[in-house]
Structures are given as structure tokens and as C-alpha cells.
Amino acid sequence: MHVQFNFSLFLAIFLIATLSFSQDFNAGFIVTQQYDTIEGLVKRQSDRASEKICVFKKTNNDIEVIYNPDQVYSYGYSGGRVYISNQLGIEINRLESSFVRIVVDGDVPLYYFGGQYAYRAPSKRLYLLLKEDNFYKANISAVLVNDCYDLTNKIENLELSDKSLANFFLSYHDCLNKPAIAYMSKKVKSSIDFAIGSGISSFASSSAESSFEEFDFSTPTTPGLNLQIRFNKGSRNKLSFTTAFSFLYYKGFYIDYSNESMAYETGFDYNSVRLSIGAKYLLASITDNLRLAVHLGAGGGLSSIKNQKRIIDKIEGNDILIRSETFEINKLEPFASASLVADYIIGSQSFFMEINNSMALGKIEDGESNTSTFNLNNVAIMVGMKLPLGR
């Protein structure tokens, strides 16, 4: 029953993630052919898809509208990438119209389309930046550096990337005292999460050998405490990779049977120190301050599992302990986890609430060929804060 519940929660998290992927919209805008700007939500797409269509809606409740390059002048994401409908394709023998991403806008604009960069020189000629034999460096050096010799030392380390090229073209405009602006995706910062929370755990084990029955038991849901420190390494496309250290402490006593003269009790203690790696994906920005993400992780934990059985005799209103047995093991156990994370941003501070579901599996051996298999399910609600660590 506990395993079935655990898998149901895993399935629910994956379903929410799948639905959110299909609704991946960010704050943005479109500019009509009459140069009117309409703010709203723009769907996040791959580079190739972004060059073909723009998917736009004014609010979350509105119907999606698909625009091709002949219907709007440009579109983009607030504080991020910008695409413009242009006829650059004709200059490289492409007949179909397409959106072109503007990396740097200025007197000498830098574009990205069809998997390659290009810029329009002061002569208005379009130059493609080809990677073969570092031809792009010779091209830029011959055409642009003549206008600003201060840029000569930057050519050698120039790379075919948004950041490297944008910095060079911005420096070129600065050298000529010309205005320019770069449009690039906001880079996700690395951060560290501190979280504390409480939850419930359930433990169940079973053995095929009757001589190993001391670890044949299951517990009802047991309350406990979760502590977690998680390092987030920022990446592209709203994906970050994580390394987490966590501590779980769960303890409970349960009355198996009781009457006026006798009581049977079972105690359960579970402590675990865990290390895991995983990935966190930003599903959607609900508002400017509220974001929803999913986190998946896997790792191992050093755990202590204790089962205590007590028999109590009730004599004249007094409880007398007749027998107490404690069985304890320390195990390295693998586990997997799935979480839904809601991040709330207030100014420069970021707080979050997380619903975490983890499942650990393992075996217990007594050294005499007796084996018991166990599973431990944990569901916890945690709250915490996020601290930036830099880029």
C-alpha cells in the first residue's frame, strides 16, 4: 500500500511537469507591422522553432495565437532574446521568410539564424561568421578592426558564442561612441538552498525466512523532521543541476494490541544522512514573483533503522515492562526523489516551499543467509530560502 501511494505521488509530479512543459510561456511582447507593441506571454521554443513562428497570448487565460514572419515585425522576451522578421534569408539563397534573432542592435548589428552568426558591416554588406579555420576572426579583423585598432588584442580570444561576440560588438560601438544594446537570455545564477520541514514516513519489510521475523514489520505513517542543503548550478534553458545534503529523523511508538492486563507496542526510529545529485527545471512563471519548478534526484544514504518491541503487563493500574527487544541495523541505501518547488521572489530575496517525495529500497541480512527486503517512503513539506552564489 505504501509503495503504491509513493508511485502515485511520483506519477502526479511527472504529470504536472508534462503539462507545464506544454504551457511554457514567459513574459514578452510582439511588435505589429504598424510598429505597435503588445505585451503578453511568448512561448519558449527551440532556436529552430523560434525562427519559424511566434506563439503569443495576452494572458494565461487567452487562446494562443501563432504568428509567422509575414504577420508581425518582431517579438521577444522581456529582458531576454529578441527576434525580427527580416529578409536576410534571401541574401544567403534562402527563399522562405524567417525570424532572425538580434544579438546586438546598433550601427553594425549582429544576428543569429540558421545555426550561424552574421553581421551587417558599415558598408551594409552582410557577412557570415564561419567557424572553419577561424575564418570569422580574419573576417572581423579585416572589416571592423580597421575602424578601431584598440580591438586588435580581443580578436585572438574571440569565440562563436553570444557572450563573446556580444562583448566584442558592444566594445566596437563604444570605441566609435555609437549606441548599441545586446539581447541575450538571462543567465541563471548558481545558488544554495537552506530548507527545513516536517513530514511523514512509512517503513515496511518482509522476509522469506521464518527465523528472520524480527525485521518483518511495517509502521503506520511516522512524523519526523527533514533538513536540507542544496547547491544549484545554473545552466541554460531554465535547467539547473543540483547536489544536495539532507538529514532525516523520524520516530514513533505504536500500540499493536492492548487490553486491561497486557499491551504490545512497537517502536520505530529512522535516521539518515543522504547525498544526492539531480536536476531542477523551471516549469512556469505564474507571476513576476512566483515560479513553479520540478526537481528530480537520486543518491544514497547512510541510515540507521531501529525496531523496538515491548510487552507491558498492567498490574493494579501500573505498567510493568515485561520484555523489550531492540533490533538495529546501519545500512547504505539507494533512494530516488521527486519534488514540486514554488519559488517566491521578494526584491533580492528568494524563498521557496517544496513538496518532496522520496523512496528508499534495500536489503537486511543477518550474516546467516537470512535476508529481508524493505522499502521506506517519505513525504515532506519544506520551506526555506535561496542565497545566490554568483554566476
Band the pLDDT of 36: cuts 50, 70, 90. Answer: very high
pTM score above 0.75: no
Rounded-to-integer distance, Cα 230 and Cα 43, Å: 29
Q: Which CATH code for domain 187-253+268-306+327-390?
A: 2.40.160.20
The type of residue at 181 is: I
Residues in the chain: 391
Q: What is the pLDDT of residue 39?
A: 93
Helix (H) or strand (E) holding 22: helix 2-22
Q: DSSP H helical segments within 97-183, as ranges?
A: 135-143, 152-155, 162-175
The answer to whether the beta carbons of residues 327 and 307 sit under 8 Å apart is: yes
Domain spans in the chain, listed from the N-terminal domain onward: 25-182, 187-253+268-306+327-390
Q: Stretch 60-76: mean pLDDT, rounded?
A: 90
In 261-348, at which residue ranges do the beta strands (DSSP E only) sit?
262-285, 290-315, 318-346
Task: Check residue 158 and report its DSSP letter.
Answer: -
Question: Does pLDDT of 5 surpass 80?
Answer: no
φ, ψ for residue 162, nearest 5 deg: -55, -50
Residue 37 has pLDDT above 90, yes or no: yes
Residue appearing with cell numbers 540507521: 304
Is the pLDDT at 4 greater than 50? The verdict is no
Q: How far is CA 2 from the centre of its chain?
A: 27
Number of other CB atoms surrounding residue 183 within 10 Å: 20
pLDDT mean over 146-169: 84
Q: How far apart are CA 387 and CA 345, in angstroms?
A: 11
Query: Mean pLDDT across the stretch 87-115?
Result: 77
Q: What is residue 273's predicted lDDT score, i.e. its pLDDT?
A: 92
List CB contacts of 370: < 8 A, sequence separation 6 or more: 207, 209, 211, 212
Instruction: Please give the pLDDT value at position 207.
Output: 55
pLDDT band, residue 70 (cuts 50/70/90): confident
